[in-house]
Structure 1
Amino acid sequence: MTLKLIASDLDATFLRDDKTINEPLFREVLQKMKAQNMQFIVATGNHLQKVLEYFKNFEGEYQIIANNGAEVMLDGEVQNVKFLPKEALKTIFSVTEKYLDDVAVGLAFNGQSTTYMLKSQAAIGDTFKISSEYFENLTLVDSIDDVVEPILKSTIVLSHNEVAYMNDLKSILGKIVHVTTSGYGAIDIVDSDVNKANALKYIADALHVEAKDIMAFGDGLNDMEMLEYVGHPVAMTNSDPELLKHDFAVSVADNQNDGVLKTILENV
């Protein structure tokens, strides 16, 4: 097997459930990959600062696809940034208002430097506490009109009716947005051209790598395009059942037991 790039989702894939990494084993993997001129890519729905925080001890040793592909960090430089159409923001909020009884974590609008949240959404359950711990520079606003910078991604967590919510957005906004889920009720809304596969192709093209020489790991439906794009797709043993219906290889262990790293070691 010839591999030049290995990409991995984070939550429920590379990260353990407590959001930690087996750093000694990752170091071993990176050293073996470097010896074979291979590069590692984080491909996640997380925002860029969160990724840098998780991998603070590995600065400069990996590439990043953040916000489900809305931005790329290649060799330390943010590139290929894709923003949501401005006109979509009010529609996203108005659809969300119909599902208030189902909201577990309120709607957030992620910019490059600030995450915006309407005060009405922040007041739902533990939204403000959870979001303050997760997002950089969380700013509460009174209305969508107060969102003053371009938005990479809108994100929300629902306790029920995720499919209905997603279908409502798709029926109103059509092809101007891409609506996807990472599972567990988490839903991301991004520009129509944004997904992990397109972002990974951007990196691959920049590095002159063909899809057949890329391995990728994922567990959720927001990983589907990426897994279908690469030559060596691997679904986690703990994947969404829908993902496991496809003809993907399966990791040697789940995310709790370093399945990504152990699978890589069997192949490099």
Structure 2
Amino acid sequence: MSIKLIASDLDATFLKKDKSFNEPLFQEVLDKLHAQGGQFIVATGNHVQKVREYFKNFEGQYQLIANNGAEVVLDGELKHVWSVPSEVPAVVDQLVDKYADHVELGLSFVAADKAFMIVKNFNAAHLDFAKTYFQNLTLIDSVSEINEPILKVSLVVPQVEYDFMRDVKTLLGNKVHVTTSGYGAVDIVNPNVNKANALTYIAETLDVEPNDIMAFGDGLNDMEMLEYVGHPVAMTNSDEALFQHDFARSVADNDNDGVLRTILETI
């Protein structure tokens, strides 16, 4: 099988529940892939700096799709950015008030190298986590304090994410693309943003055909990417919606090196 690119989601796919991964096994995969002229791509909703922290021992050995496709980093350099229309943050902020009781912490606005948050329900533990999750997080009172392009608007609304997504689509239509990881987290991005479009950009830049790409995912925000590649793999612990499609399944779940073991059995 000719595999030139392998793209993988992180949370609940590549990473274990504790956010770790089998580093020696990953190095084995990278060595084997690179020996065949292939490359590994991290394709995640996380921001660039967070990914660099996870992969600090593998600098220069992977390519990156960050913020669910809003950013593409090739060979360590930011190559492509897609931002949301300027009116989107204020519209979403107003809508979130309708769901105030369900918001786990606040509404986040992610820029290229920093993030802003309007806290809706203060929770010290959630705020501490947000500060580790978002790069250079600044708490604000109003979207009027933001004066730079926003790549992604995010929030966590457990149990009501699909209702919230429906309202966003009603208000903003095709001005945005709305997606969920399936665990209460909702991301609102530029309508041209998804992991598939970012992966297409990388594939075209590197002159690789979709049929020579393998991809791994577990959630609805991975759907377009899995449909785009020639060798899609849904994790055994995936959102049930992915099992309705004709995707292969990983040999194990994310807590048991499912991505890495499947790659080693394939390439």
TM-score (norm 2): 0.98
Is it true that 1:16 corresponds to 2:7 in the alignment? Answer: no
Inter-partner Cα distance in structure 1 for 2:79 and 2:60: 16
Q: Deviations over 1:104-144 (max 9, x none)?
A: 132100011211012x4262574422211211211011211
Shift of 1:20: 0.3
The 10-residue stretch of structure 1 (148-157 or 195-204) with the greater mean CA deviation from structure 2:
148-157
User: Percent identity over the alignment?
Assistant: 61
Shift of 1:2: 1.1
* 2:133 corresponding residue in structure 1: 134
- Name the SS of the counterpart of 2:78 in structure 1: strand
Inter-partner Cα distance in structure 1 for 2:124 and 2:173: 31
- Name the SS of the counterpart of 1:203 in structure 2: helix
* 1:45 corresponding residue in structure 2: 45
* 1:69 corresponding residue in structure 2: 69
* 1:95 corresponding residue in structure 2: 95
Gaps of 5+ in 2: none
Is it true that 1:182 corresponds to 2:209 in the alignment? Answer: no
* 2:199 corresponding residue in structure 1: 200
- Name the SS of the counterpart of 1:151 in structure 2: coil
Shift of 1:76: 1.1
Is it true that 1:5 corresponds to 2:16 in the alignment? Answer: no
- Name the SS of the counterpart of 1:108 in structure 2: strand
Shift of 1:21: 1.2
Inter-partner Cα distance in structure 2 for 1:227 and 1:105: 31
- Name the SS of the counterpart of 1:266 in structure 2: helix
Dislocated runs of 4+, deviation >3 Å: 124-127
Shift of 1:222: 0.1
Q: Deviations over 1:66-88 (max 9, x none)?
A: 00000000111101100111111
Shift of 1:199: 0.1
Q: Deviations over 1:18-47 (max 9, x none)?
A: 000100000000000011001000000000
- Residues 23-172 of structure 1: pairs in structure 2 closer than 5 A: 23-118=23-118, 120-121=119-120, 123=122, 126-172=125-171
- Name the SS of the counterpart of 1:17 in structure 2: coil
- Name the SS of the counterpart of 1:183 in structure 2: coil
- Name the SS of the counterpart of 2:104 in structure 1: strand
Inter-partner Cα distance in structure 2 for 1:241 and 1:105: 27
- Name the SS of the counterpart of 2:105 in structure 1: strand
RMSD: 1.0
Is the contact between residue 103 and residue 121 of structure 2 (CA under 8 Å) also seen in structure 1? no
TM-score (norm 1): 0.97
